[in-house]
Structure 1
Amino acid sequence: MAVAEAPPGETGHRGPDWAVLSLLCLGQVMVVLDVSIVNVALPAIRADLGFSDSGLQWVVNAYTLTFAGFLLLGGRAADLFGRRRMFITGLVLFTVASLVGGLAQDELTLIIARGAQGLGGAILSPATLTLLTTTFVEAPKRARAMAAWSAVSGGGAAIGSLLGGVLTDLINWRWILFVNVPIGLAAIVASLRVLPLGRPDPAAGPRRLDLLGSLLVTAGLVAVVYGTVNSQAHGWGDPVTFGPLAVGVVLLAWFVLHEAKVAEAPVVPLRLFASRGITVANLVMFWLGCAVIAHFFFLSLYMQNVLGYDALAAGLAFLPGAIAMTAGAYAGPVLLKRVGVRPLLIGGPLLSGIGLAWLSVIPVRGSYAADLLVPMILVTLGAGIAMTPLAITATSGIPRHEAGLASGVINTTRQVGGSLGLAVLATIGATRAQHLLAAGTAQADAVVSGYRLAFLVGAAFAVVGALTSIAAPGPAPAPAAAPEPAAEPASGPAAAEPAAAKSAS
């Protein structure tokens, strides 16, 4: 195939369509995969590096918090400084951080490396989508490209669970990070040959980045999560707990003030939330993130520490749920044509809530087929079904040029909800287990009781999300009227769902 001319807004030549799309999908799958790939490796990481139960969640949260805090900044940087440049920058940072994490000999090094991975992902992920939307300018090609990009975004969870189990079981847990190194190096080399030279987007405005805003929101979230985690060992009244919580609240309040009054190019323009659709969609996504993302953490520990699964078996056990989430996302447009947006916004979280409530009665000597398979599918299927209507609600009724920003905000909200939800639910579960152990309850019974309570509270979070959906604006917009997220530089998978799913249907 002949080398194609660069699209408008780019300079020089680029590789053939299939090569560009493959490279961009590879970059995105690296980012998505590293959220789920660690779940089945958590028990092995704890045994090797001596993590406590409370500290173990930082292997997950260090990644998701930095990813969430810098995601919108990464999207703006791609517009301001060139998409190929930021794509390669994200790849380099992600690859180096993966190497450092794989070599880590202590908890702190691994946590810092995971945070650096999250920062690299926050630069890389929006660059993949903006490159895709500027490369594939013809509507049919763009729809097919968006479908492929969304498929790897959704399928990355399934690949991550399975790959994490295979690498941990057959080699060791360090290879869940080392695997990114050869892939990242190959992608960097390919980027120099395949992607067109970028130039700043003239519509992006002056070269101003709201770095302070990103630092404030990230540091504030980290402090809140740190204080919440400390409550497990020290109680809520201890300065080690309420000190970080107070600092976090102050930093987040400063962030809101900075965004509203000070920032010349705010990373989150608060005027967006004047739209009821955006506000409701982000609230629903927050509660759904709180409920769903944490359940992978608890299921991994339950299957390996209580049921005795090895890492490979645990990875395989997650596959049906991951496939159900992807299927739910692709079924969204078909269901939208039949019932509209609001019923899916309500029904998706409710379905996840039912699955989580089912998991809240897991026995100590449970079985996969009887106690885990169906509720796992319900949890992830409900989340997948909700993705497309959430993206539509978050981008409807706003100027077209801000659709990408709105999609980026809702993806950030999902990561924030997942991080805070994991911290809160892990604290609730661990506190319950500690009280039962102190009362003389057997270890396995106490631990499983903590998991049950965490699942039950997670179900309540999902129900709150469903109730919040009632406030979504109506009448529900038809799928065909939804904004084309591919036409704007967005910042996350949520932006891709409507176009991708429409192509798939």
Structure 2
Amino acid sequence: MGTLPFARLRAVPYRMTSRSPYLTLAVVCTAMFLDLANLSAITIALPTIQKEWGATEGDLQWVISAYSITFGAFLLLGGRGGDLFGHHRVLLFGMSFFALSTIVCGLAPNFIGLVVARALQGRLFQTVHRRGDQALTEHHRHRCCFHDSLGAGPYCCGVLTAYVGWRWIFWISLILSGVIIPAAFFILPRPDRPPADVVASPESELEAGQQQARTNNSLAAIFQRIVNRFDPLGIALSVAGILLLTYALTSANTEGWGSARIVAPLVVSGALLGLFIFHECRTTNGIVAPHLFRSTSFNLTLVLAVNTYAVRQACTYFLTLQLQSYGNSAIHTSVLFIALGVSALIFNTLSGRLVPILGARLMVSLNN
């Protein structure tokens, strides 16, 4: 009796506040641009880094791989953290510590120090990438396609490497981070505090009181509830599986596919990822909805996405080494990559407009 009005009020989603959708778009796109800038731009400087520290070509790939391995492995953890603590807070946390790790990259005293700092950079930036995707609405997503461009990052890197040194790649990232952090704090949307008349009905207050009486509200109990919602087993299985798989795929060219150092991680990663899927299908607080693994479209999309990004990053890496081995300077090599960035910008824009007309299946077939 009298519950329907309260139920209706509780069903209304809370309003999201933002200064301007265009300011939000600018902040998010700048933050996500840092992702590709830090992943692809440093590639142009690899030959210079190799000469400075005498690294082998097999070791050189770890400047890229260290970033991408931790970025991919901890992506699910960043998404779950955003669900629990709010994506706005997670983005600010990620950007702040990303800035600190960028300082470590810029001050790296040797090659190993740079690789470790890059791994830390990728681990922290995945929280930013996850929040950036969350902030973009479908209306704005096609306008932010320029962050997929591979031209701007390598070109800027080529100019910096040629004139002021490769370390300035990280100092520019640090400057951009210093602009994005306060801008994100003041501009990005975050949930309003719900109005007093929508907070709870008498029935919900009674239920909350009974629940509070039944529950031990000690700090340990609260911490335990948060840990349970994080799905620690699922996160541990996914992180370990992705780390081992990426390590094996990255090191196979130097170690050989028949090497025990490659076969063992591949087998273990396959077992861990299989256990991860098995666990997610049976837990109530999984980090991935179990029905997704039963969708043919979802699984096919994952395969195509892995193929697309693997080919793109591999081409960028090997083209850079090949072009500079022919005597091209860093800035000349970066200019050659502008065509790749411009074509990506054009076709990303066209694809977004053609999908409603031709359908997603046909567009995916044409692009692959």
- Check whether TM > 0.5: yes
Q: Which has the higher contact order (CA 8 A, sep 6+)?
A: 2
Task: Measure how far apart 1:220 and its partner are.
Answer: 2.4
Classify the secondary structure of the residue corresponding to 1:38.
helix
Classify the secondary structure of the residue corresponding to 1:258.
helix
Task: Measure how far apart 1:333 and its partner are.
Answer: 4.3
CA distance 1:222–1:76, shift in 2 (3 Å): closer
Alignment partner for residue 328 of structure 1, among 347, 351, 359?
347
Q: Structure 1, residues 153-201: CA drift from partner, whole Å, max 9, x if none?
A: 223x221111111111111111112211122122222333334554799
Alignment partner for residue 80 of structure 2, among 76, 80, 86?
76
User: Does residue 1:217 correspond to 2:242, yes or no?
Assistant: no
Task: Measure how far apart 1:101 and its partner are.
Answer: 1.2
Partner of 1:168: 161
Give the whole-Å Cα distance in 2 for the aligned partners of 1:23 and 1:336.
Answer: 26
Q: Which amino acid aligns with 2:349?
A: Y
Classify the secondary structure of the residue corresponding to 2:109.
coil
Structure 1: segments with no counterpart, 5+ residues: 1-7, 134-141, 350-505
Give the whole-Å Cα distance in 2 for the aligned partners of 1:235 and 1:75.
Answer: 35
8 Å Cα contact 2:161/2:331 also seen in 1: yes
CA distance 1:151–1:348, shift in 2 (3 Å): closer
User: Does residue 1:290 correspond to 2:294, yes or no?
Assistant: no
Q: Percent identity?
A: 27
Partner of 1:280: 300
Q: Structure 1, residues 201-253: CA drift from partner, whole Å, max 9, x if none?
A: 99xxx852234434433332332343455555554454434343343333333
CA distance 1:85–1:48, shift in 2 (3 Å): same
8 Å Cα contact 2:65/2:250 also seen in 1: no
Partner of 2:180: 187
Partner of 2:145: 151
CA distance 1:336–1:211, shift in 2 (3 Å): same
- Deviates most, 331-340 or 112-121: 331-340
Q: Structure 1, residues 385-405: CA drift from partner, whole Å, max 9, x if none?
A: xxxxxxxxxxxxxxxxxxxxx
Task: Measure how far apart 1:74 and its partner are.
Answer: 1.9
Q: Structure 1, residues 93-129: CA drift from partner, whole Å, max 9, x if none?
A: 2111111111112233222222222222211122123
Q: Which amino acid aligns with 2:177?
A: G
User: Does residue 1:47 correspond to 2:51, yes or no?
Assistant: yes
Structure 2: segments with no counterpart, 5+ residues: 1-12, 200-224
Task: Measure how far apart 1:10 and its partner are.
Answer: 5.9
Q: TM-score, normalised by structure 1?
A: 0.58
User: Does residue 1:99 correspond to 2:120, yes or no?
Assistant: no
8 Å Cα contact 2:146/2:345 also seen in 1: no
Q: Structure 1, residues 141-160: CA drift from partner, whole Å, max 9, x if none?
A: x72x3333x233223x2211
Q: Structure 1, residues 299-329: CA drift from partner, whole Å, max 9, x if none?
A: 0010012x21111111111111111112112
Give the whole-Å Cα distance in 2 for the aligned partners of 1:199 and 1:65.
Answer: 36
Q: Which amino acid aligns with 1:292?
A: R
Give the whole-Å Cα distance in 2 for the aligned partners of 1:259 and 1:200.
Answer: 33
Give the whole-Å Cα distance in 1 for the aligned partners of 2:132 and 2:254.
Answer: 41
**How many positions carry a matched residue from both structures?**
325
Give the whole-Å Cα distance in 2 for the aligned partners of 1:342 and 1:195.
Answer: 34
Partner of 2:129: 125
User: Does residue 1:34 correspond to 2:55, yes or no?
Assistant: no
For the aligned residues, what is the CA RMSD? Answer: 2.9
Pair member with larger Rg: 2
8 Å Cα contact 1:227/1:244 also seen in 2: yes
8 Å Cα contact 1:14/1:196 also seen in 2: yes
| Aligned residue runs from structure 1 range 38-437, under 5 A | 38-133=42-137, 143=139, 145-148=140-143, 150-155=144-149, 157-198=150-191, 208-261=229-282, 263-305=283-325, 307-336=326-355, 339-349=358-368
8 Å Cα contact 2:75/2:130 also seen in 1: yes
